[in-house]
Structure 1
């Protein structure tokens, strides 16, 4: 059963949030560089969150689109569902990443809804979907829930797009439901080099440069992934209590390339729904690459400033059906926010060929 849904945060929750923001105890800046999110950046955003940011405006932006929940595998799944005016439009399910939410894809709706029926779910444990009450909600189980969701909506042939964690889920959906999937389009292929020096030696200069970016990220900015993959409950105690802490934790993967309002909307969703811990479960419950490659047609859009660049020879090692690969000279890890038209055009081009 599909139940209509609206985001309606009680005012007392917002009042509590405002009081906690006003009482924030900011940490002192540490000496040195590269030590994490700067203290002055967090202080600036907390002050704006308290005095300038309008949650109700963000709520209205989300509620401008039809939303529903349905129970799948014992868990409520929240999703936006925007039907195209074209009856023969291709259904497309878009899966957000971490620390994002369905808000990630709001800029794509007007750009894609002429040609696609859009389904934009909240990943289980994130935002407005239910939180897992048992272990095992890894990307394969989420992909199985997506396949069931599309079946319930009456979509027997459809496409999938994902970013960040959503890329991993979308790839798994292609493996799980290959006879119904027209194609999978992603913005990252998380293919890492093996320990074989010969594999590295075969990479050309451009791919060596991408590998250097990737290795810098893993060496200097991946602590969040280690903690979420090993101690999500420990982390959740701190973030559930402190909205400023939630903001700082999210901010490490947002940087300066997206708007302050977008950053705060996502931080607010995580804090107001108490999903800091449950959103980490997707890493904790296992996301090792599967042994078998996917045979579903795969398209990749690579954006120049993505801190986790896709390296084509490594991607082709792990995926046998890459039929579309575009590299752009702008945009980054949050392409739907940074370069929505560029991303929408790439999605459209890929799926036009799949029709």
Structure 2
């Protein structure tokens, strides 16, 4: 394990600004964001990214958090004077460890925030990037590298799914699991599907029909789209912010949840690490995932408010986990709930950890 400091070379930043200045913008195909990222908004953001954003200030803010590298795994590790087990905070796509920093500031236990394999400064494994493979690497980080006997796991999206695998693979070491997307069972064979469950499943299928184009191309032709995004920072921005806006609880106004400096920080990290393509690997490798066993460790769910999860019934989570200690649907905060509502998550996560011990 070695200390890590983010330090982007000046010539790389100069090249980024030059590329941004030469951006060719498309004409809108529909009104506003109806056909994807709004070209007018993209132009405004790209102009700020090139001329108004202070990367060095952002870099200094990030480097205020102790960061490390271990066997290709990048992570933030904040130690606090606490006798309680630490917590592992795990992000999803198209996010980064930056998503978890506001929550990190509000917790009173040791906190570990890894970058997912293939994201930013973390390398990909040799084999398929499954949820179980991510869980295995995170468990190695927590136990072998950092020496913790027990720990809590928190996450959403990919990180939440990997945390669910942590709970099933290492139930003796995982003290509890807190997720923002209620866990799914391996199947629905145990009992007939209820009307509430069917309504959610139908809404989930309908959502896929209108918002799965990104997933299909990253699952089937990741290198094709990665070639474009790795060469055009404006294209990268359009690809990422489309999902930040669509999935956050922002009522259509992205900057109510992500200010421009945060957006440009996230985009600059993706750009300078050249990792947008490798962040797609878990989509390409998704067919290698196997059904996850039932979760038996204590579980807390703070359900995100995003289509279709506002319809998610607790009964689905009960099918997937046998010991749900806390379940809430606060109706605020979307796919990036820890970033959008850090105090809400800090309060519920802390209460859950205290109740479990």
Scaled by the length of structure 1, the TM-score of the pair is 0.90
**1:12 maps to which residue?**
11
Aligned residues: 342
**1:229 maps to which residue?**
219
Aligned partner (choices 151, 155, 171) of residue 158 of structure 1: 151
SS for the counterpart of 2:277 is helix
**1:316 maps to which residue?**
318
Q: CA deviation at 1:308?
A: 4.2
**2:43 maps to which residue?**
43
Q: Distance in 1 between matches of 2:129 and 2:28?
A: 38
SS for the counterpart of 1:93 is strand
- Kept in 2: contact 1:13–1:272 (CA 8 A): yes
Q: CA deviation at 1:93?
A: 0.7
Q: Distance in 2 between matches of 1:315 and 1:117?
A: 28
Task: Pick which of 14-23 and 56-65 moved more.
Answer: 56-65
The answer to whether structure 1 residue 293 and structure 2 residue 288 are counterparts is no
SS for the counterpart of 1:160 is strand
- Kept in 2: contact 1:254–1:263 (CA 8 A): no
Q: CA deviation at 1:211?
A: 5.2
The answer to whether structure 1 residue 137 and structure 2 residue 137 are counterparts is no
The answer to whether structure 1 residue 98 and structure 2 residue 97 are counterparts is no
Q: Residues 68 and 291 from structure 1, CA distance in 2 versus in 1: closer, same or farther, beyond 3 angstroms?
A: closer
Q: Distance in 2 between matches of 1:137 and 1:46?
A: 32
Q: Distance in 2 between matches of 1:56 and 1:289?
A: 43
**2:251 maps to which residue?**
none
Q: CA deviation at 1:289?
A: 5.8
Q: Distance in 1 between matches of 2:269 and 2:308?
A: 24
What does 1:110-259 align with in structure 2 at a 5 Å threshold?
110-112=105-107, 114=108, 116-132=109-125, 134-151=126-143, 152-189=145-182, 191=184, 201-203=194-196, 208=199, 214-255=204-245, 256=254, 257-259=257-259
Q: CA deviation at 1:316?
A: 2.1
Q: Residues 325 and 263 from structure 1, CA distance in 2 versus in 1: closer, same or farther, beyond 3 angstroms?
A: same
Q: Distance in 2 between matches of 1:56 and 1:215?
A: 43
Q: CA deviation at 1:307?
A: 5.4
Q: CA deviation at 1:189?
A: 2.7
Task: Pick which of 48-57 and 306-315 moved more.
Answer: 306-315
Q: Residues 201 and 306 from structure 1, CA distance in 2 versus in 1: closer, same or farther, beyond 3 angstroms?
A: closer
**2:332 maps to which residue?**
330
- Kept in 2: contact 1:193–1:200 (CA 8 A): no
- Kept in 2: contact 1:233–1:277 (CA 8 A): yes
Q: Distance in 1 between matches of 2:267 and 2:345?
A: 24
The answer for unaligned runs of 5 or more in structure 1 is none
**2:250 maps to which residue?**
none
- Kept in 1: contact 2:87–2:110 (CA 8 A): yes
The answer to whether structure 1 residue 82 and structure 2 residue 78 are counterparts is yes
Scaled by the length of structure 2, the TM-score of the pair is 0.89
**2:352 maps to which residue?**
350
Q: CA deviation at 1:170?
A: 0.8
Q: Residues 261 and 125 from structure 1, CA distance in 2 versus in 1: closer, same or farther, beyond 3 angstroms?
A: same
- Kept in 2: contact 1:187–1:300 (CA 8 A): yes
